[in-house]
Amino acid sequence: MPSRKLLQPPPSTVDFQKPTPNFPHRRHHHHHSLLPLLITAAAASILFLVLFLLFLRRRKRTAPSTTSTAGDDSKPPHRFSYSLIRRATNSFSSPLGHGGFGTVFSGTLPPPARTPVAVKLMDPTTTSSQQGEREFHNELFFASVLCQSPHVVAAMGFSSDPKRRRFLLVYDLMVNGNLQDALLHRKCPELMQWNKRFSVALDIAKGVLFLHSCNPPVIHSDLKPSNILLDAEFNARIGDFGLARLKSDPNLDVLDGGADFEEKKEGFLECDGGAVVVAVDDCETESVNTACYFEEGSLGVDHSPECFVRVPNLETSPETNGAGVSASPEMAVALAGAASLSPGFDKASSVQSEKGVKKNGKGMRSNSVRDWWWKQDNDEVAASSNPVGESKSVKDYVMEWIGKDVDKERQKGEWLGGEGGQLWKQEKKRMKKKKKKSRKHQLEWWESMEEEKFDDVLKKEKRRPARRWWKEEYGEELEKKKKKKKRKGLSNDDDDDDGNGNGSEWWMSDDALYRDRNAKKAKSKSRNNRGGADWWLEGLSGDLWRTRRNSFDSASGEIPKSGGVSSTPSMRGTVCYVAPEYGYSGDVSEKCDVYSFGVLLLVIISGRRPLQVNGSPMSEFHRANLLSWARHCARNGKLIELVDQSIQSLEKDQALVCIKVALLCVLKSPARRPSMKEVVGMLTGELEPPQLPVEYSPSTPSRFPFKTRKKGR
């Protein structure tokens, strides 16, 4: 049979003389039936190939890193379509929280990824859209590098439509939410175990160390509990890189100038010693214009971020260009902050404020910052100290505490309305009756915060009036300063140096406080125009009043969120957590993060906010300010009092190390703060346990700023 013949193996030698067997009819039939089959098969395979390629391409563009196959070198952030994100979040139906950027929703990426995600949707109506856009670009800029750390939550994807002002960021979902919520509100039982709390602190420290180990170092700028996210096992990861920046260092050995970049097509940002290629996606993806996030003059125009990293290419909105290459990060955020505060904000005013900020380099104007402070009012503090549920806000407390010092104008209208106003009226009546007593009492009360007058033993002693106390303690020093001041003259008081020959580092010296006090006396008239609460807050917060001088540690007070509303709509960094030097010297360094970490560590150990009043204000106020309280405990040798009493299975020695590390981190002088490497070393026990510096020793006299202010009034 011919078919059998076909299956036969070919002859080993071919006899070319022998005629080939002839099957004319059969051959003709094959020719006719195979041709259409072959054509169909070829067409089908081409079609299949095209479809396969399209599928691959689509997958590459949409699949998150977690679904990448081995060898797939595409790195986040990936671009998602808006409709995909909408489907993933079920039309943005499950909000997780709300921040300065907008609302965060939970969702799940469609198959094949099926990754649970958190989606940040920029809200162009309620926040400053300029700020939002900048944060969006900033997050993307850092995403591809930061995603490599297990202690960081970086954006894995994004979606942008500048024309419709739609900006979305996609992150891994951290199922246990943020630390602030888990620790302070929900009081998760897991976090009541010492081991877990300590591991959270260590995770954060390692995360910050990772950022600082990058080349150039990444400064987070906004470390605080609500930016620490917790996964299912309560492992902590640092999130929210909207305000992060690269450390500006002209000596950094980065890529050659921007001119070469086009050819290189990729950049480098070294992490943990190894060079990391930060190229993202192919030429069809978009790239971000992040030029405005870098320090003017430090990296220079030729050293724009594109020299460091290649990032997806987004259409640049006119606003972003408006801030442009010349805007530094501070400017950008301050500008955006101004926008968010002022309803009438427009581009012209933005340029103006940008100039203002640029000029003095001190961030926002004091008025704006002050307004911002009041905006942060919420009833959490009030609720904690007010079991009957009166809705008292921070300012109500201020006024109750300060009593008659509060400016009358503001009492009636500007600050208070409704319930707050009623409260004030009652308070005023009470204050009138006890006028003398009250004033004396306040002074003692302030003293108590730093000078431990509330200790049982000392309570029995006759208290000195604050003025006398101050004179006794610092009279000699003051006299010297007076003489020196006379010689120098008062004219250049505000801007001259602090005695260290370094005007930009005035906060390092307490001396400046006392000298400053005299000079302020001369200007008391203008200061008196401010309300008493201003004075109170200036003393208390330190960091709030960006444009004023604060020569003391930031005895900071956190403004808790109101219903999850961001506490940082307008400032770089967050009140209470921001380092005192931030925004003054322009020398923003890793030590700013170290300071914030110190506050964060104290919060973790103590399980409370930096500013918190529980129970009746008078009995609790000496503990209200966490930093002051921690210093007070250190001077008393009672550090353990800081530890949260609800912690179980406490390891006392480890807790003490944590507190000491925290106290070192919040030292006034950035140079004296440890590096994050040292912090991690001390926490893990690889380095010697920390020794507290001399200012925390019992003999060190406390110099509480309020007395200074009070005397000046």
Q: What are the catalytic residues?
A: 222
Type of residue at 227? N
| 222 vs 593 by CB, closer to ligand ATP | 222
Q: Considering the rule CB under 6 A, would residue 552 count as an interface residue with ligand ATP?
A: no
| 328 vs 568 by CB, closer to ligand ATP | 568
Q: Considering the rule CB under 6 A, would residue 239 count as an interface residue with ligand ATP?
A: yes
Secondary structure (3-state) at 81: coil
Which residues, listed in sequence order, are joined to residue 78 by a DSSP beta bridge? 157
- Written as six digits, the tokens of 148 are 């490599």
Q: Nearest distance from residue 242's CB to ligand ATP, in Å?
A: 7
Q: Which residue is nearest to ligand ATP (CB)?
A: 99
Q: Considering the rule CB under 6 A, would residue 566 count as an interface residue with ligand ATP?
A: yes
Q: Considering the rule CB under 6 A, would residue 101 count as an interface residue with ligand ATP?
A: yes
Q: Nearest distance from residue 343's CB to ligand ATP, in Å?
A: 20
| C-alpha to C-alpha distance for 681 and 688, rounded to whole angstroms | 8
Per CB under 6 A, the segment of 92-100, 268-276, 455-463, 468-476 that binds ligand ATP is 92-100
Total residues at interface with ligand ATP (CB under 6 A): 26
| C-alpha to C-alpha distance for 515 and 501, rounded to whole angstroms | 15
Provide CB contacts within 8 A for 187, sequence distance 6+: 646
375 is in an annotated binding site: no
| 100 vs 363 by CB, closer to ligand ATP | 100
Are the beta carbons of 394 and 559 closer than 8 angstroms?
A: yes
Q: Nearest distance from residue 98's CB to ligand ATP, in Å?
A: 6
Question: How many other CB atoms are found less than 10 A from the CB of residue 107?
Answer: 24
Contacts with ligand ATP, 104-123, as mask; x by CB under 6 A: x-------------x-x---
CA-to-CA separations, 434 to 396, 409, 429, 440, in angstroms, rounded: 19, 22, 9, 10
Q: Considering the rule CB under 6 A, would residue 560 count as an interface residue with ligand ATP?
A: no
Secondary structure (3-state) at 363: coil
The single residue among 136, 142, 167, 171 that binds ligand ATP, judged by CB under 6 A, is: 171
Are the beta carbons of 323 and 125 closer than 8 angstroms?
A: no
| 177 vs 532 by CB, closer to ligand ATP | 177
- Written as six digits, the tokens of 170 are 């996609």
Q: Considering the rule CB under 6 A, would residue 88 count as an interface residue with ligand ATP?
A: no
Dump the DSSP string for 398-439: HHHHHGGGS-HHIIIIIS--HHHHHHHHHHHHHHHHTHHHHH
The single residue among 227, 509, 541, 550 that binds ligand ATP, judged by CB under 6 A, is: 227
The single residue among 76, 77, 99, 610 that binds ligand ATP, judged by CB under 6 A, is: 99
Q: Describe the strand order of the beta sheet including 78-79 as a list of residue ranges.
A: 78-79, 157-161, 166-172, 116-122, 102-108, 95-98
Contacts with ligand ATP, 450-479, as mask; x by CB under 6 A: ------------------------------
Structure-token match 């190894």, residue found? 274
| C-alpha to C-alpha distance for 687 and 678, rounded to whole angstroms | 7
Per CB under 6 A, the segment of 32-40, 221-229, 256-264, 429-437 that binds ligand ATP is 221-229
| 176 vs 589 by CB, closer to ligand ATP | 176
The single residue among 289, 442, 567, 625 that binds ligand ATP, judged by CB under 6 A, is: 567
Q: Nearest distance from residue 552's CB to ligand ATP, in Å?
A: 26
Are the beta carbons of 109 and 117 closer than 8 angstroms?
A: yes
Query: Binding to ligand ATP (CB under 6 A): which residues in 582-621?
Result: none
Per CB under 6 A, the segment of 59-67, 295-303, 349-357, 560-568 that binds ligand ATP is 560-568
Q: Considering the rule CB under 6 A, would residue 234 count as an interface residue with ligand ATP?
A: no
The three-state (H, E, C) secondary structure of 553-611, written as one string? CCCCCCCCCCCCCCCCCCCCCCCCCCCCCCCCCCCCCHHHHHHHHHHHHHHHHHCCCCE
Which residues, listed in sequence order, are joined to residue 105 by a DSSP beta bridge? 95, 119
Q: Considering the rule CB under 6 A, would residue 167 count as an interface residue with ligand ATP?
A: no
The single residue among 191, 218, 229, 634 that binds ligand ATP, judged by CB under 6 A, is: 229
Contacts with ligand ATP, 173-192, as mask; x by CB under 6 A: xx--xx--x-----------
Q: Considering the rule CB under 6 A, would residue 153 count as an interface residue with ligand ATP?
A: yes
The candidate with the shortest Cα–Cα distance to 175, out of 230, 123, 120, 112, is 230
Query: Which residue positions form the known binding site for ATP?
Result: 120
Site of interaction with ligand ATP (CB under 6 A)? 96-101, 104, 118, 120, 153, 171-174, 177-178, 181, 222, 226-227, 229, 239-240, 566-568
